[in-house]
Amino acid sequence: MPKVLFLTTSHSYSDDRIFYHQAKALRDNGYEVKICSLYAEYKGCIDEIEIESFAILEESIETKMETFRKVCNSFHPECIICSEPLAVVAVKKFVKEHRISCIYDITEWYPSMSMLQKYRFPVTIFQAIKFSLIQLYAGFLSTHFIFGETTKKFPLVYFFGFKKQIIVPYYPDSLYIKESIKQLDPNVIKLCYTGQISKDKGIENFFKAIDRLRQKMPALHIRILIIGSTVQESDELYFSSLLKIYSFDDIEIRKPTRFETFTEAFEDADLCFDLREINFENNHSLPIKLFYFMGAGKPVIYSNLKGIRKHMGELSFGSLVEPHNAEAISNVIINYIRNPELYHSHALNARKEFKEKYNWELIKDSFVDFVKNLLINNHHAAYYH
């Protein structure tokens, strides 16, 4: 039984991509799978997948790397899939000595804006250069690449385009999707925001659009659902001030839900939003939640991101907007209210496209085959060596 080890620093061992999709797909195909994360403490077995996780994010780099090395030496994987550069660098000796594959799964920008925001100018520039060089070093050490989206190929594909690679988008497994197509009530509308609550992720843009909507349609009962939480203390203060400024009548704030029940948490919402700021990092990202909204049958209003346009083109189930344009966004909502048949067609389109184009079942085999083929090549190389 081939052994595959997932290593991640900042993702949870129960991360939706790693645990619920990739690890389970390999498990179902007869692989022995283990996940090691440095995000939270847990040791045990979940759904036949071994977990050895540590809460050592605040520890030194050497401590983190040594932890990964120990796990490698005890598990003896034939393939390692890493989510961050640190993991790739940590196992370089093991990979070289045992002639195994090290896949670098790139789903996040590195360095991310959150990594750099704690530094002041001009230190920011030097840190960005340092982190970028680490990213290139990880690319050099890796034997294969998985990219979460086309726009995340930069810069690694330009330096290491000769290495075998595959794009594995963030499509959800239908198992974790609950369809909840609604009929629009012309007198009441429920608008939903999910995820991290911050300026960068667009909470103020969301509130401004709703504020404009209530000014234009004072008789409309607007219900607001927020599923998420703040991360930084500054975000908490910022959010509290927004709640006081806008003073909405009907607003419900729920803590983040378990992955398995995510689509159930917003099943009573009519429209789902993501009005994040259009900066370089956001613009080149393909938001994962978009596919969950689609699967549930929810029309969406999203920031006009290059990552979405490049991957999906024009949306048949919603609108891509300038996130600061509250006037235009409110008009999109009003258009749905006045044209319920348009709303219903978008809800059906969302569900249809999810089933036909954007679900995990359609790409699962290509991911498994990618891992299977490199393991076969490893065995051949070891045989002829």
Q: Answer yes or no: is pLDDT of 300 > 90.
A: yes
Condensed to tens digits (0 to 9), the pLDDT of residues 319-340 reads 999 999 999 999 999 999 999 9
Longest dimension (CA), the chain: 77
pLDDT at res. 83: 96
Give the number of other Cβ atoms within 10 Å of residue 362's Cβ: 13
What Å distances lie between residue 229 and 44, 195, 203, 209, 266, CA to CA? 28, 7, 11, 20, 15
Residue of higher predicted confidence among 97 and 126: 97
Q: What is the pLDDT of residues 245-285, one digit of tens each?
A: 999 999 999 999 999 999 999 999 999 999 999 998 899 88
Q: Phi/psi at 338 (nearest 5 deg)?
A: -80, -15
Q: How far apart are CA 140 and CA 304, in angstroms?
A: 33
Q: What is the reported pLDDT for 116?
A: 61
Q: Which two tokens stand for residue 264?
A: 């159930």
Q: In this predicted structure, what is the pLDDT of residue 383?
A: 42
pLDDT for the residue numbered 164: 96
Dihedrals φ, ψ of 314, to 5°? -75, 140
Which of 28-37, 121-130, 150-159, 324-333 bottoms out in mean pLDDT, i.e. has the lowest? 121-130
- Confidence label for 115 from pLDDT (cuts 50, 70 and 90): low
Amino acid 94: pLDDT: 97
Average pLDDT over residues 69-77: 97
Model confidence pLDDT, tens digit, residues 2-17: 999 999 999 999 999 9
DSSP 42: E
Cα angle, residue 67 at apex, residues 65 and 73 outer, rounded to 5°: 105
> What is the percentage of the chain residues whose pLDDT exceeds 90?
86
Which is nearest to 143 in space by CA: 180, 188, 92, 189? 92
Instruction: Say what the pLDDT of residue 73 is.
Output: 96
CB 177 within 8 A of CB 263: yes
**pLDDT value at position 385?**
45
Q: What confidence score (pLDDT) does residue 384 get?
A: 40
Q: How far is CA 353 from CA 97, 151, 160, in A?
A: 46, 21, 33
Task: Check pLDDT > 90 for residue 82.
Answer: yes
pLDDT of residue 119: 65
Rounded to an integer, the average pLDDT of 357-368 is: 97
> Which residues make Cβ contacts (< 8 Å) with residue 172, sequence separation at least 6?
16, 21, 291, 292, 295, 359, 360
230 against 130, higher pLDDT: 230
The pLDDT confidence band at residue 112, using thresholds 50, 70 and 90, is low
Q: Give the residues across from 37 on adjacent strands.
A: 8
H or E element at residue 37: strand 32-37
Predicted TM-score (pTM) of this structure? 0.93
Mean pLDDT of 170-182: 97
Q: How far apart are CA 205 and CA 224, in angstroms?
A: 14
Confidence at residue 228, expressed as pLDDT on a 0 to 100 scale: 96
Q: Does the pLDDT at position 123 exceed 70? A: no
357 pLDDT more than 60? yes
CB 128 within 8 A of CB 111: yes
